[in-house]
Structure 1
Amino acid sequence: MRSLDSRPGPRPERSKGSWPHAAMVNRIRELERQLRRMARQVTEAAALLRLSRQAPKAVVGGRGRHHGPAVRARICSLVDEAVARGARIASACQLLGISVRTLQRWRQPWLAEDRRVGAHRPPANRLSEQERLQVLELLHAEPYRGLSPRQLVPRLADQGRYLASESTFYRLLRRERWCRLRTRARHSPEPPKHCWVAERPNQVWSWDISALKGPERGAFLYLYLVVDVFSRRIMGWSIHPEEAAGHASELILRACAENGVEPAGLVLHSDNGRPMRGAALLSTLRHLGIVASFSRPRVPDDNPFSEALFRTLKQRPSYPGQTFASLEEARAWVARFATWYNSEHLHSGIRFVTPDDRHFGREALVMARRRAIYGDAMRSAAARWTGPMRTWLPAGPVRLRAGRSDANPLFSWGARQPG
């Protein structure tokens, strides 16, 4: 153990002459730090000067610019060399016009390549300004005003004219903000196991009744209308102030006589309304040999062809906005509509031919003319066609769902589908 005499004594007081020495030491240390800082700055300036000389065109700044893999690898190697010579990463990135975070992202293997597409350049096959103005002028022309491009393109093909594709018409409409909002159609369900298949005219007819606003408040006129499912042609119509099965019987008899149709074996489809199941109508159908077909219970869209025809009728621009002044006025208007619909209307469900053309077997000739027009246009301006030519082929058979009928469940013409 240490003796008591070996314990250290009190610290001697520092003389007043030692304080200037301490201040001088601190000053020297501060100057040394400044010297080291200046040396680093000089070293960094030399490294950055060398970097600017090595890559005079490597400034890639600009937010959102596209940089390929070669440019990214070149920038990363230049920054690494500058840092090895004494430059800071932030200073080197600032000189090159990028951020430190961008450099860090470029070093990741899965981000080594810019996954964005290149610059949007105008395609070589775009319409010229004169052609674009011609298309816009056509869309505003009186005969074509209100027609969708789906209707307009086949109509122009029938006239021997080709201006642009259907998608180009829609693109110009969207650019000019001339397209109105349209609801998305529901995906049609799979066809049921039992359905009628119309492979030629006068196999399956569909009929229905729709109310038209009459001359008096609360009074209606009832339009009876028969349409051929295969050709969508209006085969007959009549207007009466009331709903009755007798009126429907007279219409079916007159439609068969005027169109020269042998009624035996004809299928007449309708919904489950009271006039459709009236005793007078069913007795007439059995006498003529017509098969009565009805929609499935509680299925409102099993008679789509008649419903779609009524929708087209009531959305015509010439359809009276308020009411029909009289029964004679309503009959005159429907007569004009039936003539227009059968002979002029290009129906989208049958590849944009008129119901008369399909009913009387002229659709193949119409499609052949359209193919010839598009073939000539494709040969004259091949650079504008990036894909195959539009398919101008006649529509195939038409299926109609059914719930009950007076015929055998194993329908004729192979209408029963395999399960």
Structure 2
Amino acid sequence: MKYSEERREAVLKKLFPPNNRPISEVAEEEGISAATLYLWRKQARDDGQLLPESGADSEGWSSRDKFNAVLETAALSEAELAEYCRQRGLYPEQIRRWRQSCEGANERAQAASRRESEELKQERKRSRDLQKELRRKEAALAETAALLTLRKKGPRDLGGRGRMTSALDRQQAVELVNEAHAAGARLKSACAELGIGLNTYRRWAAGGHDKRPDAVRPKPAKALSDAERQAVLDVCHQPEFASLPPAQIVARLADQGTYLASESTFYRILHDANEQHHRGRMAPPRQSGPPPRHRADGPLQTWTWDVTYLPTAVRGQFYYLYMIIDIYSRKIVDSEVFASENANNSSILIRRAVLREQCCHAPPKLHADNGGAMKGATLLATLQKLEINPSFSRPRVSNDNAFSEAMFRTCKYRPDYPTKGFESLEAAREWVHHFVQWYNHEHRHSGIRYVTPDERHRGLDHDILARRHQLYQAARAANPERWSGDTRNWTPVGPVWLNPEIQNDPRASLEAA
């Protein structure tokens, strides 16, 4: 049904302020459906008319209705505002308060916009910083990987001021540095890995060869003349000086009031004339070779043993403590105190240790010093019978048997060690027996993650250390703020080396040769 405009206006007035009658009540009174009234109210609102929710007083108007009221009264005078308010059941104070709220909302909107803009700016800055840090870490990771590869591929240290480097080594170094630089390493870091400087790298990369070997060098003004050099050789050829070294010749010439040259110059002239060689029956000096090296991946693979003095109550008289150690577990496999030191006592102790550990079919390596008790014929025959491969320290080298030396230090620094000497051989043996029991079964050794040597010897250290690791992980989970890094390392110790190879040890090349 189509309604006239007059009736439509008359019905809407009942919904206008100050009436504000509910739509359901007006629909029942006018006989018009509520849906039609809702449609008319929506159309009136779209046309800019003030139509608050039905039944709501002026304080319950929606924000939209209040905003419309502020807009409608913006250009009204005080009298017109009073008339407008009376027609709609409002107070001028409400209009003024609504206007202030609108203005404040606008300021809040601007403040919120500024705040959002600032937050967005800060977020973009954080994003840029994170991206920058990510790029830095990626570059550092790439550089580390490139340097590790360079370290594996690179030759020995090429650096050193004035050092001669062959053309082949130069070319290889330049290629390796270029490869590392392409993989993400900085030139300075790559050059430092090879022991050369940036200027050296640039000079090598430019090509050319080292002209120093072929350079014509001027003779120093202070150098000896050919006649003076020949005079030195003539003196050395004289019968009275023919068997003497330059040190003796220089001293005797000084007693005669003659000075030809310094001692070092004598040596240098003789060397240039191919007359400076080792003479006599004395063996020429030689560099000691690398120490014997042994690796133990488990118990009963490598033993070390040694003998130490035990003081007695009589000054100058000693007992002799023999002790055998398994370097993998640090366990004292056997020990004994004797009144004398000889190969027969050594043979007795080693046979007893092999029988006690039941390793006759797979005897361990046995390392010792070069003493008479370690290299006597009786002992060597016993080792050959037991099929034990002996190993000895280098002559006149005191640190090739470090495990035994450390054991003796632990032994002699026990609180109950009798510093004034043992009263008898039986007293010494009883004390050593108690020490061995304490060391093997109670002492937590720092070199094997603080388990006892007996526990490691029997393979129990893995379970013990795993339980300690679980305990520390639980403690960290209970109070994570107390842990700034990883928990204590309870990983079982792996293989043990006797005299491990030291990196950059010049004797390693001698061993390889």
Which has the higher Rg, Structure 1 or Structure 2? 2
Task: Using CA pairs under 8 Å that are at least 6 residues apart, name the structure with larger relative contact order, 1 or 2.
Answer: 1
Q: Taking structure 2 as the reference length, what is the TM-score of the superposition?
A: 0.41
| Greater percentage in helix | 2
